[in-house]
Structure 1
Amino acid sequence: MEPLDWNKHYDLANLPKFDMTLCWNCKAPATKVCSGCKETRYCTSECQKAHWKKHKAHCKMFGQMHMMGELPKIMKKNEPKYKGPSMGRCSGCNVRFTPNYPPNDKCPECGYTACESCVVHEVRGTCHCTNHNFGRTYCIMEPRWYHKNGKTGEPYIGDRHPEDPLHEYTPDMYEPVERQCNNCKKITKVFKKEYWNPQRFNTSWF
């Protein structure tokens, strides 16, 4: 394997290509990786020791190259938790709030803030949380198609035990034994999975 001359300037896009599945010493299938650079591979500790004289000059540079590739992941991991859209405007329609037109609701978890019009809108009134909307858990609501994360579109697919005083649900809709809801953790009878689908309910109620 031809050693790289690190005194020269290299275009990273045109660096020599290596088979990263093979041992850099004997070309056998590699199962170990150098702990210094996280790039070079070896089949055994013996091969790693035998190759060290050649690899020593490259180890630090390969380590720097590895860090360059890992940096975006590290930055992403250390990003502050999403706090919602900018303050002072409705997250749904972007209208500016004023003393005469203040926010109507704000999610305590994701920070989504909605005006009066957007709160009642079936799409713009959905915050950026998957298991609840503005802190109100979806599990206590009858299934609706818009019970989802308003940012990613990920639907809520957890347990349901609606608490609707205007509607009575028949016993056959529930699992026979009480258990802990996988969303709110309340011990209660929950809907059978076939009743998680919003299409099972009268569309005039949507």
Structure 2
Amino acid sequence: MDNCIVCGRYAEARCSACRGVRYCGSQCQKQDWKSHKSDCKSFQVATLNVVGAGGNVQEKPVPTHCTGCKLKFGSEIGKRDELCPDCGYAACADCACHNRRGTCYCENSNFGHKYCGRVPEWYHCSSRTGRVYRGDNHPDPYDAELHAVPAAQWEAAPRTCGNCWQTKLCLKRGYQCKYWMCQ
């Protein structure tokens, strides 16, 4: 959605404070300021900067606003659908199912659900980058016997896969490429 919120024309400029609204020019921005300024202050509160690991300034999600689209929760329209217990990312129903905005900041999970560890196949690659899908691995028992996987390379107990929701015994991280072709 790259259109001006006032006139609907293509807009590259954003509100410099909240970066959540687009305008085609200063005239439309001035025209919209009366209605936008109350929301803009809320956006500034919702995106307080904190120093993260490594000394980088990172955006701290606040659970009162959607981290994806900055919608304030509490109204009929703005209801929180997802909240990550690890990184604090909060998402409304629209953003929770949107590919770009519905993923929290965690590297190995999404809203507390660990990523799937299926055996990487040729069709598990990203259509954008062409890279093979990587993750934990819960192979078919027949395949594991076929490759004679030692017991020390398996996790201690079965766990629920965050993608397919089956409880499976998984290989430890780093051992999947030893037995299955990974690029």
TM-score class, shorter: 0.3 to 0.5
Q: Identify, as 1 or 2, the structure richer in helix.
A: 1
Alignment TM-score, normalising by the size of structure 2: 0.41
Alignment TM-score, normalising by the size of structure 1: 0.37
